[in-house]
Amino acid sequence: MTTTTTPPETGRNGGSAPASVFRELIGRITRLEMLVGAVIALVMVSLVLIESDILEAPFENAQTLLFTVGGTALAGAALVAMLWFRVPPVVRLVVLVVPFVIVNWWLISPYFIDDTVDEGFSTSISQQLDSGGETPVVPAPSDDDTTTGSTPPADDTPPSTQPDAAPDEPSTTGDEPPPPPSGPVLLGAGQFVGLAGHSGTGDAGLFQNPDGSLLLRFENFDIQNGPDLEVYLVPGADQTSLSEGSIHLGALKGNVGDQNYELPSGTELAPGEYTALVWCEAFSVEFVGATIAV
């Protein structure tokens, strides 16, 4: 009894069919596409050599890793499909290169560009800290001040000649409340620290304006830039995520310089600790934070 074996299917140029198809698809890539790919690779390597932190960006968390790996797989699948259906080379370049450049500019350019902001304010964190950050209050005299046992000097003026105190004369005993502050008052301040591998320095302070509104101010602020950065005030100390009760204060105005963020009208903060948190919305990762005790 004899047995026969079926040889593997071969392509037009010999070899197995999958290998032959793969070689045929590769052969459809033009020299122009290879040149553009080489230029892109050279630029990326140069950027990594200049700023090595770029390599850490795709591995910050599961979301960034999925974005990087998924995007690469999707681009590879699109290239194979376009080669299979013999899409013209120019169209292939536009479909692949344009999104690649846009996405990478959005992700990488912050590593090389600083957005500097210089917003003024009627006072500063350092000025208020140096002055104590509070409106001085004159203490009222205690009962001990009138019971020390010393005898007051005798009044030689006859009783009949002593002037009566005016009934409407304002009291000067110091019992009146102090006047309201004429400018913003610092409620609390803290210093920024880098989070999740990001670097950053600066001061954060919560101010209460004379009208009762609240404002968060950054001073001497200098952090690593990034895409889609937002500012939050999060209840609790040393917070690294957006918990319940977090207050969104808007997009980060700049990664360098002094800047102000008004809290929503009517916001009231209970005494306690809060974290001024700069958060990357695109990848759900923390950048820097400062704990403020109110």
For tokens 């998924």, the residue is: 70
How much is the pLDDT for 43?
94
DSSP three-state, residue 64: helix
- For the stretch 268-273, contacts whose Cβ atoms lie closer than 8 Å and that sit 24 or more positions apart, written own/partner, are 269/187, 269/206, 269/214, 269/294, 270/294, 272/235, 272/236, 273/235, 273/236, 273/237
Counting residues of the chain whose pLDDT is more than 90, the rounded percentage is: 59
% of the chain residues with pLDDT over 70: 78
The rounded distance, in Å, linking the Cα atoms of 124 and 131 is 11
Q: What is the DSSP string of 202-220?
A: EEEEEEE-TTS-EEEEEEE
Q: What is the pLDDT of residues 138-164, one digit of tens each?
A: 344 444 444 444 444 445 555 544 555
Mean pLDDT computed over 110-120? 92
What are the tokens at 56? 């850490």
DSSP state letters, 214-264: EEEEEEEEEE---SSEEEEEEESSS--S--TT-EEEEE---SEEEEEEEPP
d(CA 181, CA 10): 89
Q: Which tokens hold the place of 63?
A: 């979301």
Q: Which has more pLDDT, 174 or 179?
A: 179
For the record, the structure tokens of 91 come out as: 């169209």
Instruction: Find the length of the chain.
Output: 294
pLDDT tens digit sequence for 201-229: 999 999 999 999 999 999 999 999 999 99
| Cα gap 9→106, rounded to integer Å | 47
The neighbouring-strand residues paired with 132 are none
- Residue 228 near residue 281, CB atoms below 8 Å: yes
Q: 252-277: per-residue pLDDT in tens?
A: 999 999 999 999 999 999 999 999 99
Which residues make Cβ contacts (< 8 Å) with residue 138, sequence separation at least 6?
174, 178
Q: How far is Cα 58 from Cα 271, in angstroms, rounded to an integer? A: 39
Determine the pLDDT at residue 184: 96
Rounded to whole angstroms, what are the CA distances from 265 to 114, 212, 247, 261, 272? 31, 9, 12, 12, 20
Q: Residues 58-74: what's their mean pLDDT?
A: 85
